[in-house]
Structure 1
Amino acid sequence: MSPAENLVQRQLQAYNARDIEALLACYAADAEHHQLHGGLLARGHAQLRPRFLARFAEPDLHASLLSRTVLGDWVVDHERIRRNFPEGRGTVEMLCIYEVEGGSIRKASFALGAQTLEDQTS
């Protein structure tokens, strides 16, 4: 496993463990989150922390890796995220593009797929 892939895997594991300190340790202090081809979502640990903690409050939160492509310091993950939406429990697929620099995630861009709700009648 390349250093970039190892780092992105560690951040995925920290996300699923809801370990905010281990997760932020994977990111540069001034790391940025963006919508893919869109605006800035957060910059730096002070803005990343509350975004992650809001997700961690969801009882069913879990990210499953569907596929991963690595090209040098770039790691592209296709993930399915189990979430607790206001409308109910469900999943959303995401394309996550991580740029690793100097042993940390420097920039991450995300594209969201369609939200799918679970059948709440069973």
Structure 2
Amino acid sequence: MSDLHSPEEVVEAQLQAYNRKDLDAWLATYAEDARQYEHPATLLAKGHDEIRARALLRFQEPNLHARLIQRSVMGNVVIDHELISRTFADGTGTLETVAIYEVQAGKIKCASFISGRKSLD
């Protein structure tokens, strides 16, 4: 794996595409057979089709934005602590999230999410 596609760079590209709401660029950071989980082992989506479908509605939220609070990198694992602005069924607000990304061959192979505190505006 070249330095141009280090795990940290892949995850950063994913974050930037997420904040631009560029679904195609965001999905391009994921491996074709990637999996997303609610930590530790509840499967949310597998493969590009399911991951795209899961993200499609979220990317339509007008205030969607992830603010990186802290990032840790150990080998091919990147852990982001984020505060995500969202539009929930009960109003706008933020959700504290930890995302654990496993990067292989320059793509996110596995993403696992821990949802924390939700606050309404």
The bucket for the TM-score relative to the shorter chain is over 0.9
Q: Which runs of 5+ in 1 are unaligned?
A: none
Distance in 2 separating the partners of 1:59 and 1:65: 19
2:44 counterpart letter in structure 1: L
Instruction: Report the alpha carbon displacement of residue 104 of structure 1 after superposing the two structures with TM.
Output: 0.5
State how many pairs are aligned.
Answer: 118
Work out whether 1:47 is the aligned partner of 2:54.
no
Alignment match, 1:9: 12
Work out whether 1:113 is the aligned partner of 2:116.
yes
| Identical positions, percent | 48
Instruction: Report the alpha carbon displacement of residue 51 of structure 1 after superposing the two structures with TM.
Output: 1.2
Distance in 2 separating the partners of 1:4 and 1:28: 13
Distance in 1 separating the partners of 2:68 and 2:53: 23
Q: 2:21 aligns with which of 15, 18, 26?
A: 18
Backbone CA RMSD of aligned residues:
1.1
Q: Which runs of 5+ in 2 are unaligned?
A: none
Instruction: Report the alpha carbon displacement of residue 50 of structure 1 after superposing the two structures with TM.
Output: 1.3
Instruction: Report the alpha carbon displacement of residue 59 of structure 1 after superposing the two structures with TM.
Output: 0.6
* TM-score, normalization by structure 2: 0.94
Alignment match, 1:82: 85
Paired residue secondary structure (1:59): coil
**Cα shift readout 1:4-47 (whole Å, capped 9, x = no counterpart):** 00000000000011111111110000100001113100000000
Paired residue secondary structure (1:98): strand
Distance in 2 separating the partners of 1:96 and 1:30: 18
* TM-score, normalization by structure 1: 0.94
Work out whether 1:36 is the aligned partner of 2:58.
no
Instruction: Report the alpha carbon displacement of residue 52 of structure 1 after superposing the two structures with TM.
Output: 1.1
